[in-house]
Amino acid sequence: MITVYHYLILSALLFVIGIYGVLTRRNAIGILMSIELMLNSVNINLVAFSQLFEPLNLSGQMFALFIITLAATEAAIGFALIFVLVRNFGTLYIDKVNLLKG
């Protein structure tokens, strides 16, 4: 019997994996991919709660759709920023970008 706890634990696991990626990746594309992991794990929660508590009301799925579209725009903006980073600094590794370091 699959309950909502299964989905909660799965999404918590994926969320902490995404946080680990954000904290340890050196290149900016890897960080962007880890952020996508975190957004997807939140979506699982929304759809699971919508389906297992109010199956006739689709509001939770609507919010999952909003997050999907916002994640797509976020990826586009993120890649534009990465291109600017590569053009100005010639590198993709964020530990090489230390312009504000004293």
Q: How many CA atoms lie within 13 A of 102 on its CB side?
A: 0
Binding to other proteins in span 30-49, by CB under 8 A: 30, 32-34, 36-37, 40, 43-44, 47-48
User: What's the min distance (Å) between Cβ of 77 and other proteins?
Assistant: 6
Q: Which of residues 59-88 bind other proteins (CB under 8 A)?
A: 59, 61-62, 64-66, 68-73, 75-77, 79-84, 86
Nearer to other proteins, 38 or 99 (CB): 38
CB atoms within 10 A of CB 80: 10
Phi, psi values for residue 66, rounded to 5°: -60, -45
Distance CA 88, CA 53 (A): 50
Residue 96 as a binder of other proteins (CB under 8 A): the answer is: no
Largest CA distance in the chain: 57
Report the Cα 37 to chain-centroid distance in Å: 4
Residues at the interface with other proteins (CB under 8 A): 1-10, 12-21, 23-27, 29-30, 32-34, 36-37, 40, 43-44, 47-48, 50-53, 55-56, 58-59, 61-62, 64-66, 68-73, 75-77, 79-84, 86, 92, 95
